[in-house]
Structure 1
Amino acid sequence: MISNVILVAIGGGIGAISRYTIDKGISNKINHEISFGTLGVNLIGLFIIGFAYRIFEHHIVSEDLKHFLIIGFIGALTTFSSYALHTFQLFEKKKIKEAIINILLNNFLGMIFALLGSELGKFI
């Protein structure tokens, strides 16, 4: 059995690389005051966590997989701290409208993506 710390580290490494790649890919295509790269990785992560929650609820899944996927991969992929910093910077630049849109998109769409993942997980 692999140590939980190692599983979290491996999952976290993969999640961090995924985050960087996805964020940069989206940001290079959509250059905007609102960080759509951060939004994209958050929505993907929320969808995966909703899906995993439903699967883990109804199927026997090892604690190793939970540590790897939820704590490691999703923990490194999603970017609440980046989201908060981008929002703070928008407020600081007096871009109030963009800051509020950023908050609404991340929170509202985030909940929808988690729900969508959860609903898809019901069918697996």
Structure 2
Amino acid sequence: MIWIWVAAGGALGALLRMATAQVIGRLAGGAEMPMGILLVNIVGCGLMGALFVLLERFELATYLRQGLTVGLLGAFTTFSTFALEAYQLVIDGRLAVAAIYVILSLLGSFIALLAGIFLTQWSLSH
């Protein structure tokens, strides 16, 4: 049963990632870096932080926990796409943009995770 929930969450997460990245990519127009995946990873980490706190506080069946974390958010965020896009920036000779993209992705995602944790803890305590 858990595999079905992870697969369903993964399918939904992948579809949400693709749609979100495409919309953000269109809105960002001629941005130097892949803004869609950058924002997907940052937002996904914020959601993972919030979900982490909620799952610590509220009981949820293991299959639902795994479906949401491993499936939905695991497929929504994507490290492999990030790595490939950073590589493409490097081979295109855009080293400064690649470095900024990598730094923003890593720091932004980590800060978003922390924000998700702290904001959810704060909202649950008030």
Q: Shorter-chain TM-score category?
A: over 0.9
| Alpha-carbon RMSD | 1.0
User: Which range moved further: 94-103 or 61-70?
Assistant: 61-70
Deviation at 1:66, TM superposition (A): 1.0
Kindly report which structure 2 residues correspond to 1:1-124, keeping only aligned pairs within 5 A, or say none. Answer: 3-31=1-29, 32-122=31-121, 123-124=123-124
AA aligned to 1:35 is P
Structure 1 portions without partners, runs of 5+: none
AA aligned to 1:54 is V
Mapped partners of 1:59, 1:120: distance in 2: 16
- TM-score when normalising by structure 2: 0.92
Deviation digits for residues 14-66 of structure 1 (CA, Å, limit 9, x no counterpart)? 10110011000000011323100001110111011000111112222221221
Mapped partners of 1:60, 1:72: distance in 2: 18
Deviation at 1:120, TM superposition (A): 1.9
Mapped partners of 2:106, 2:26: distance in 1: 23
Deviation digits for residues 46-100 of structure 1 (CA, Å, limit 9, x no counterpart)? 0110001111122222212211100100111001101000001111111010000
SS at match of 2:32: coil
Structure 1 moving runs of 4+ over 4 Å? none
SS at match of 1:94: coil
Structure 2 portions without partners, runs of 5+: none
AA aligned to 1:16 is A
- TM-score when normalising by structure 1: 0.94
Mapped partners of 2:96, 2:80: distance in 1: 20
Mapped partners of 1:107, 1:83: distance in 2: 10
